[in-house]
Chain A
Amino acid sequence: MGTWREIDVPVWETVVTPCDCCGQVVAKRLWIVEIDGTEQRFCGEECESLFRTYVLPERAVRAAADADPA
C-alpha cells in the first residue's frame, strides 16, 4: 500500500525528481511504495502497477541473461 508525499522544493533546488518506473518528472506529489525492502517513488499507482508487472520481471530476465551469456 503506497502513500502520497508532497515534494517540498527549496528555492535553490534546481534538480527535478523522476519517477522510478517511467522516468517522467514528478512535479508536486510522489507515490511512495516499498517494494522488496526498497522505497520506490512513482508518478502514481499506474506506474507502480507497471513497475510490478513489467519492469521487475524484465529486470529479472535481463539479470539472468547477463549471468548466463551462453
Chain B
Amino acid sequence: MTDPVTLTVLNNSFVNVCREMGLTMIRTAFSPIFNEGLDFSCVVFDRRGNMIGQAEFCPAQIAASLYIVRWTLEELGVDSFEPGDVVLHNDPYRGGAHIPEHSVIRPVFHDGELFGFVANVGHLAEIGGMAVGSFAADATEVFQEGLRIPPIKIVKRDEHDMELWQLIMANHRTPRNTWGDLNAQIGSLRVAERRMHELLDRYGRELVEQASDELMDYSERWMRAEIEAIPDGVYAFGERMEDDGVGPDPVRFHVQVTVNGDELIVDWSGTDPQARGPINATYGVTAGATYNAVFHLTDDGIPKNSGAYRPIRIIAPPGSAVNVQYPGPSVGGNTETHPKLADIVIAALAPALPHRAAAAEGGTACNFLFGGIHPKTGDYYANYHLEGGGWGGTAAQDGNDAIIVKNGNCRNTPVEIFETRYPLRVIEYSLLPDSGGPGAQRGGLGTRRVFEIEEGAEVTVNALLDRTKPGFGAWGLAGGKQGGPAAILVKRKGETEFRTFTEAFGTASGSKFTNIRLQAGDRVIIESPGGGGYGDPGERSADLVTEDIDQGFVSEEAARTAYGLES
C-alpha cells in the first residue's frame, strides 16, 4: 500500500506532465486553433492502455483517447513499439471523435523496458476533403471529410518517415500548418517522455506502477460510491437535432440510464439510425459524452483516470446516430451531438439529482470555417472558428455566458489575432440580450458576432450549427424555459437586409452548408444560442431581474412577459 502523501504527489505529477505538454503545444503550434483555441488534449497511459493521467483539456478528446490508445495497442500490438516511435491516427471508426482530430502516441521506455505511453489529441484546422477547414456540413461519406489515417508510425526510432509526411501534406490545403502543428504535438510527447523518465528515476518503476494501480482503484471506489448514492431505477430522456445538413428531418437521440447499485448502464438503443449527413457520433463521442455527463453529476474531486470510468457500461448500437459505421460521415458529431448527448444524460438523471443537474446548454459550437488566398500575402489560409453559447441554469446559479460547448474546454480567438491572420474584420462581438432561457436561475447568454470580408478578398465559407429552428432551443429544467436560438445570416454588399444562407444561396440547410463564396463587403452574423433556465421564472427575485435589465442581459419587455416584473 502506497502512503496517501506519495499517492497524491504522483497523481498530481501525472496531471502536471499533461499540463506541461499543453504549454508546449500553446508555445510551439502554428495555428490559432491550438495556441489560442486550445483544441487539443494531453494524456498519459500505462503499458496496458489504462489512462493514468489527464489535465483540464477537452473532455471529448480525453474520453476518445481511452479508446484510441487501447484499440491502437490491440491492433498494432504492444510489442511493435520501439523507443522513439510515434504513431499517428485520425480514424473516426477506431475511437476518434471526428476526422480532423489527429492523435499521436509515443511509448515511454525506462531502462529498456516499456512503462507506458504519452498521447496528444489535436484538432488540425485543415486536412483536405470537399470543404475548406475540413468541416463538410453536407458530407454523406467520410471520404468527403478529409484524409483518413489508420494507426501508422510517422516517426520510427526518432526518425521522421518523410515519405508519409509528404503524402499527408499533399492532401491538406495548408501543409505548412500541418507540419508545424503536428510537430508541436509530437514535441509535446518528447517533453512528457522526459518528465516521466524523471518521475521514474526519482520514485522507481515499481512504486510508480503500484501507485497508478492504486489511484485507479481509488477512483473506481469513489465513482461507485457516487453512483450508489443515486436511487436505483430506470431514467430516460430524448431530444432532437434540427436536421443532419443533407435532409430536412430532425434526428432523434434517446437514452435510458439504469442505476443498479454502484453501476450505471447507459443505453442509447432508442436513437435514430445513422443519419445521411455528418451529425453522427462515433463510439468515442458517445462514450465521451456519457462520461462527461456523469462527471458533471458527481464529485469533481475524483481523480480522472481509467478507474473512474469502470462502473459505467455504455451501449451504443452500431449503425445508429450514436455509433456511426463506415463510410458514414461524422465531423459534426463531436461538436453538435456530443453536448446534446451529455445534456440528455444529465436531463435523464435530473429527477434523481436535482441539486446537481443543469438545464441544457446552447449545444452547438457554431462551427464557421473559411479559407482562401490572403490578399496581403498571396498565401492560402484556412481557419476553424467557433463560438461559445449560454449554459443552462442550475438549482444554485444562473448559467454561464458565452462558454464553448461541453465537449471542449476551448477558448475563443481574440479579435486582434483573428484580424491579423485573416482578411475578415469583426464589426461586432457582444452578448445577446434575452437569449438566456427564463428561469428562477436564468440560462446563460449567447453571443452575436458580425464579420465583414475585407477589401480585395474572396472567402469560401462553411458552417455547421444547430438550434436555429423554432422549438429546438436548449431545454429548461424544473419549470425553467427554453434558451434563445442560434442564427447564421448573410448580407451581400449593397443589400440592406440580412438573410439566411438558404434564402441567399439556396443551401439545403440554413445552418449546415459548405463552399459558399463571399466577396469583399459581404457581412455574416453568427448568433450562438442561450442556455435553458432552471426553475419557475416567476420565482426569480425582482432585484435580480432589475439587475439583468441594468446589465443589458434582459430587455424590459422580456422582464414583463417572461418574469412578470411590474414596471
Contact = CB atoms under 8 A, between A and B. Distances in A.
Contacts of B94: 16, 25, 27
Residues of B in contact with A, size category: 20 to 34
A25 B326 contact: no
Contacts of A25: 67, 71, 93-95, 283
Contact of A54 (B71, B95, B265, B316): B265
Q: Is the interface of A mostly helix, strand, loop or mixed?
A: loop
Contact of B323 (A14, A18, A55, A58): A18
A24 B323 CA distance: 9
18 contacts: A14-B326, A15-B325, A18-B283, A18-B323, A22-B313, A22-B315, A22-B316, A23-B283, A23-B318, A24-B283, A25-B67, A25-B71, A25-B93, A25-B283, A27-B94, A54-B265, A54-B267, A58-B267
A28 interface: yes
Contacts of A14: 93, 150, 326
Contact of A23 (B95, B150, B315): B315
Closest 3 CB pairs of A and B: A27-B74, A18-B318, A23-B316
Q: Is the interface of B mostly helix, strand, loop or mixed?
A: mixed
A50 interface: yes
Interface in B116-153: 150
**Max chain A C-beta neighbours (<10 A), residue from B71, B256, B315:** B315
B317 interface: yes
Given A16-B94, A18-B318, A50-B313, A27 B326 contact: no
B258 interface: yes
Contacts of B325: 15, 18
B314 interface: yes
Contacts of A23: 283, 314-318, 323
Interface string B258-279: 1000000101010000000000
Nearest to A17: B318
B75 interface: yes
Contacts of B71: 25, 27
B15 to A, nearest CB: 27
A55 B93 contact: no
B267 A15 contact: no
Given A23-B283, A23-B318, A62-B269, 18 more contacts: A14-B93, A14-B150, A14-B326, A18-B283, A21-B315, A23-B316, A23-B317, A23-B323, A24-B67, A25-B67, A25-B71, A25-B93, A25-B94, A27-B74, A50-B313, A50-B315, A54-B265, A58-B267
